C-alpha cells in the first residue's frame, strides 16, 4: 500500500516535470529571453564541468561551452521533444566536446595562457577544500584528487567521456548511448574498459 502510494507520487512528479518542461520548451521556441536565461543559469555550470572533464583543458571547455549554447539558441526550434531537454542539451555538449580539435592542427595548437591566471597549487586548493579532519588530511585528499584527475585525463577520450557521464553525471546507460549515438552495449564495454584502465593507472600511481 505504501509502495503504491510512493509510486503514485513519483508518477505525479514526473508528469508535473514533463508539463513544466514542455512549457519551458514552448517559451524557448517562442524566443523568450527569460526562458533562455533560465536554461543558461541552470545548465551552464554542469555542462561546463562535464565538458572540462572530457576535454581536460578548461580553455577548450570555455570555447565548447560557448559553441554549445549558441547552437542551442539557434537550434531550439528544431527540438521536437523526442528526449528530455537535459538529454538534448547534454547530447549537443558531448558531441561538441568529442568533435572539438579533431584535426592535426587543432590537436597540436595550444592557445597562449595568461600568467595572471590562478595558479594550481595545492596551497590554493587547500583554502577551497571542504573542511576535513585536519590540514594533512586535506592536503592528502587534494593530492589524491590531482592523481585521479591525471589518471582520468590520460584515458582515451571515448572512454573518458563515458566514465564522466556515468560516474560524475550519474546518467543511465540508455541516455549515455543516446548522447554518444552508440548502442548500449558499446557504452557498457567502453565503461568496463575505461574503469579497468583507470583502476590500473591509479594502482600504479597510488601503489595499491
Partner 1 sequence: MFESCNQIRECFSDYIDGACARQAVLSIRYHLRHCGACAAEFERYGLMREDVRTLPRPKPSPVTNLRLNVALSQAQNSSVLGPLRVRFENVLRPLLLPATGAVLAGLICFGVTLECLIVPPARVDASTITTPARIESLAPLDFNTGTEGVVLDTHVNADGQVVEYKILSGTPSPDLKPQLDRLMYFGVFRPATRLGQPTDSELVLSLRRITVRGRDSAAPAHNGDSPGPSQPPAERSSV
Site residues for partner 1 per CB under 8 A: 36, 40, 44-46, 48-49, 52-53, 58, 61-62, 65-66, 69-70, 73-74, 125, 128, 144-145, 148-149, 152, 163, 166-168, 173, 188, 191-192, 195-196, 198-199, 202-203, 208
Residues in contact with 62: Cβ distance below 8 Å, sequence separation at least 6, in sequence order = 48
List strand residue ranges (DSSP E) for 48-185, in order. none
Nearer to partner 1, 89 or 198 (CB): 198
Nearer to partner 1, 82 or 134 (CB): 134
Alpha-carbon gap, residue 61 to 38, rounded angstroms: 21
Nearer to partner 1, 15 or 145 (CB): 145
Nearer to partner 1, 46 or 83 (CB): 46
Q: What are the distances in angstroms from CA 133 to CA 126, 130, 139, 145?
A: 13, 10, 11, 17
Q: How far is the CB of 37 from partner 1 (least distance, A)?
A: 10
Of 80, 75, 117, which Cα lies nearest the Cα of 96?
A: 75
Amino acid at each position: 500500500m505504501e509502495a503504491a502510494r510512493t509510486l503514485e507520487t513519483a508518477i505525479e512528479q514526473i508528469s508535473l516535470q514533463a508539463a513544466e518542461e514542455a512549457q519551458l520548451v514552448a517559451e524557448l521556441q517562442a524566443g523568450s529571453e527569460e526562458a533562455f536565461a533560465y536554461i543558461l543559469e541552470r545548465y551552464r555550470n554542469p555542462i561546463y564541468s562535464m565538458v572540462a572533464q572530457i576535454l581536460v583543458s578548461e580553455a577548450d571547455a570555455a570555447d565548447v561551452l560557448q559553441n554549445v549554447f549558441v547552437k542551442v539558441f539557434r537550434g531550439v526550434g528544431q527540438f521536437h521533444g523526442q528526449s528530455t531537454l537535459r538529454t538534448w542539451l547534454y547530447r549537443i555538449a558531448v558531441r561538441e566536446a568529442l568533435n572539438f580539435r579533431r584535426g592535426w592542427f587543432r590537436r597540436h595548437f595550444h592557445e597562449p595562457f595568461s600568467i595572471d591566471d590562478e595558479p594550481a597549487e595545492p596551497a590554493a586548493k587547500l583554502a577551497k577544500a571542504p573542511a576535513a579532519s585536519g590540514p594533512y588530511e586535506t592536503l592528502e585528499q587534494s593530492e589524491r584528487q590531482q592523481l585521479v584527475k591525471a589518471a582520468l585525463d590520460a584515458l582515451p577520450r571515448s572512454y573518458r567521456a563515458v566514465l564522466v557521464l556515468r560516474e560524475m553525471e550519474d546518467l543511465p546507460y540508455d541516455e549515455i548511448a543516446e548522447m554518444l549515438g552508440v548502442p548500449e552495449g558499446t557504452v557498457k564495454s567502453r565503461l568496463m574498459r575505461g574503469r579497468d584502465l583507470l583502476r590500473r593507472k591509479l594502482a600504479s600511481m597510488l601503489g595499491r
